[in-house]
Chain A
Amino acid sequence: MNAIGSRSRVEGREKVTGEARYAVEHPVPGAAYAWVVQSTVAKGEITAFDTADAEALPGVLTVLTPDNAPELAPVSDGELAVLQGRKVSYRGQIVAAVVAETLETAREAARLVRVTYAARRHDVRLTPDHPGRYTPDEAEDGPWQARQGDPEDAFRAAPVRIDCTFTTPAEHNNPMEPHATLAAWDGDALTVHDSNQGPSTVRSTLAKVFELDPARVRVISPHIGGGFGSKGTPRPNVVLAAMAARAVGRPVKLAFTRRQMYALTGYRSPTVQRVRLGAAEDGRLTTIIHESFEQSSTVREFAEESTTPTRVMYRAPNRRTAYHLTRLDVPSTSWMRAPGDAPGMFALESAMDELAVVLGLDPIELRVRNEPDGHPEDGRPFSSRNLVACLREGAARFGWSDRDPTPGVRRVGRRLVGTGVAAATYPVLRSPAQATARANADGSYTVRIAAIDLGTGARTALGLIAAETLKADPAQVTVEIGDSDLPRAGLAGGSAGTAGWGTAVVRACEALLSKLNGHVPPEGVEAAADTTEEVKGQGDEYARHSFGAHFAEVEVDVDTGEIRVPRMLGVFATGRIVNAKAARSQFLGGMIMGLGMALMEESVLDEAFGDHLTADLAQYHIPANADVRDLDAVWLDEHDPHVNPMGTKGIGEIGIVGAAAAITNAVHHATGVRFRTLPLTPPRVLPEL
């Protein structure tokens, strides 16, 4: 399979030997430690703080509460208004923080802080018909909803109809490295070592919150232990660490615990999704209606946008997609790998499977028959679209042609066996960036950009891109990233990192090549690029999206309801691949997360208390090695001249999109039972067998 290269991570040795430092691991003399106190009510007001016992504990430097915390400048994300008032908006909210000489002292002192609340009745229950439900911009065909033709009439008139409701639970990101910050002030200059998905963004946010000149803020983040979206916006840790460091006049380290992350660092909203499909007898869709009901906290509006992928998938003259939010007294929802696309494509691709079963049509053939010529809403051409090729290639590799479509008839011992397929999609995005490229006198090159490596291999990928442009050996290129003092760049998010940063790296390298005339002086030659105009100037004459297809085989134990996935295959059409080795890893990682979404991941909310109970890795189940068996990911050689100079499309998220539906469709094929509520755990499955 083609790629620019196939290279192990350049910092791999540092990571496996433990040399690589993560945020709070940076050694700094005189560091103090912060620990947060979290609210124990879900809604109300704090009526009193008693910090005397905490302050009396030897080693405690200060106890920060809304009463003594410095005033911060307001920003749009209410989560960053740390200790700015006595109002409690969800259980687990930060209501105080202790700073002490040691981590243990800070933790013990936090326990001694007594907070009295006037609690009010909270509402944490998401229902589709919640009275507080709203649909912003209801009149407009904006991102909240889109409509073509007369979808409801077309549904009533359709010869074949599917009308079903799918439920997905709250799900939490669990990066290995928690959200963590080491903050230090030098006068009015702030330096943070922070775990995030974009140092430039963290810098501008800190500058706003603390009303500083951005040039006086530096964010250093050479290595990140995963984020999956949860570090895409600065979280309260970085604000609180900076606040605490200023309060005690010393560097302060703050790392959330796994349990704290379940309240403080975002999660995927639960969704209730109704999908209606109307089709002719030959399977051609006449209407698609996809609605989603989701939650947001009261401090931060965030929409999961579960119906967005439906807008690009299948041809149908009548169509409507919409999502609705309800503000509840819950912790704030936020980005989690393929926000919207992951739960949305579970619903749509399950419904398509249901339609295939009703029609007696092969599910691949059903999708092929509904393949649009251009964007289903407006007919714009796709810059490239190889969904059908992915389905065909996957069918050949997986052995789909022998499949007997009859559900519930294959049995091996006490296990029912089935196979399933589902499509995947993800938009092609990128953001502007700046970069510099330097030719050094010794023949090596240095590329600098404030990109970030979440663990995906971004540093290595940018090196390959630079080397290709420079026609140099990748070993001759050093890539400097993970520091806000480097040329400004966008987030690692929306699968847009490599595309956005890569564009800037290519342009900087091209500019460097045009400056070089065969001789490099001792001080080297440097060139810079800024892709703001190029990226913002890119027209929307093309619809730009990635596509893919997932295949899964499952075994369902009829006595226990346990589901195992002996085989999974993902086939992707995502433009040009940069680093074959790391790309495969990204696809597989996404697919494994999809397996978790299908079978085990669920953040259980306690309605009486208002918080997520499953707040550790023993209770919030992600796949263990034993759950992951024969897993394979391949890609098509797709050439797309309309996306960016590399021809890449972004691969960080598409691996999870559709993966859960392939598994649950296989479970239907195995058992004849349609499970529409995730995850498919034995307690849910066994009673239906």
Chain B
Amino acid sequence: MSNPAMSVQLAGMELKNPVVVASGTFGFGREYGQFYDLSELGAICVKGLTAAPREGNPPPRIAETPMGILNSVGLQNPGVDAFISTELPFLHRYDVKVIANISGNTPEEYGEMCQKLSSAGVDMIEVNISCPNVKAGGLAYGTRPDLAAEVTRMAKDHAGKIPVMVKLSPNVTDVTEIARAVADAGADALSLINTLRGMRIDVSSRRPILKMNTGGLSGPAVLPIAVRMVWEVASIGLPILGMGGVSDGDGAAQLMLAGASAVAVGTACFVDPYAPIKVRDELRDIAARQGLDGVSQLTGALRPW
């Protein structure tokens, strides 16, 4: 058994461990900060931000599915300005990297938000081009290479020295096509996967459970899709934050072997608030059992047939 180093690099950002909490599952840290010291985490990816405050979608916003959940929160958030003035100072009290997740209606909005967040002092920006819930914008950017590239360029132009990571949608035929387009447009890193579009119907009432009819599927059910897509995208050569259904060290290690430098834990937080800590500790155990000097040696170390 070795005593593996836990720190990893993600596009020049050093994380003390590879476990990030995924956007939209962890608020701005305050709630789970009641359970443990947020400095235990590698990074916090905050609830998706928009230029103006958003109320979100009508309820029900959640439906349970076999080993998964569907959600249609609809980017409810207080807006980027309120985040900077009231939430970011709270997060800065902790020794944890802060990744700001942003969604815009226009490329200009992405640029404007990047500028504000870069000056405010976040550590990284995650550009959401793939949220499937919002009627305006959202899906279109993530499914069209030219639009994804345009948004990426706009973000890069306004983010200053802050690395820009683009979050990819799995709701496409070929994820590498979009990945290559945003890489060419200057993205510093990729994160994937966002949720998969799904639907659940109450048979007795013949109504969808979600008021928006469809929503985004997450949870353990999507892990194999995430692993496959990370593996496909790894060939592009950009650093990857892998996510989708991670609930234990084994799932996190699979994403890293497939090519991820760090992993995000999301839905698992709803099941167990300590899930990110558990994933970190189990990942350390896996690296130790394999006699590695550092957990980062797992990244891309897959031996494909």
A-B interaction: no
Residues of B with Cβ closer than 8 Å to A? none
Q: Which A positions have Cβ atoms within 8 angstroms of B?
A: none
